Amino acid sequence: MIKLLAGATGLWLSLSVAHAADFPPFSIDLLSWPRASPADIGCQMEKHFGHRDARFNCGLKHYKPSGGPCKNTKAYYEGPAFPEKLAARLHPLATGVYLYFEHGALQSIFVRLDGDFSEQQVLQALGRPGFADQGGNIMSIGAGPAGAGTTVLFIRGFEHTGAGDVDC
């Protein structure tokens, strides 16, 4: 009986490992990024991926956002872009990482993944299989099909506020 239980447990563990191997974990804690400043995100990219943004990098101290949804909108939405060539270093199946900034904070992140995966698989790869935002920096998170055999992960730190949302 003990051998049978040990064998069944071993089989379950090997199936779990094989299932997890199908969708490996992300290389960094991406859930810590929402609401961070462009300078902080640029520094994270520099430290973890060796990519130094010309402006938003570890050398930028005392970043202060400028601009607004009505005037100086370029400054309102400024922040570093995640280089497409580094996407696979964030996750082996990532083909694109898109960062959206507003008024000095990372508003949302989208990660395009090659393959059809469930939301549960993606959240497990993030290290949060039963997602519950405990840090207060994430408004919503999810993953779903994006067509043509791709899945998109989206993490929103806060609602978008643009010119259509305020009186300009």
Structural contact between residues 117 and 49, judged by C-beta atoms closer than 8 angstroms: no
pLDDT at 136: 82
pLDDT at 144: 95
Using alpha carbons only, how large is the chain's radius of gyration in Å? 19
pLDDT at 1: 46
pLDDT of the chain, 168 residues: tens digit per residue = 444 444 443 443 333 333 444 789 999 999 999 999 999 999 999 999 999 999 999 999 999 999 998 899 999 999 999 999 999 999 999 999 999 999 999 999 999 999 999 999 999 999 876 655 556 899 999 999 999 999 999 999 998 876 666 778
pLDDT at 132: 58
Long-range contacts for 142-147 (Cβ within 8 Å, ≥24 apart)?
143/117, 143/118, 143/119, 144/119, 145/116, 146/112
pLDDT at 23: 83
Structural contact between residues 34 and 133, judged by C-beta atoms closer than 8 angstroms: no
Coil, strand or helix at 149: coil
Structural contact between residues 123 and 21, judged by C-beta atoms closer than 8 angstroms: no
Q: Which residue has the tokens 């989208």?
A: 110
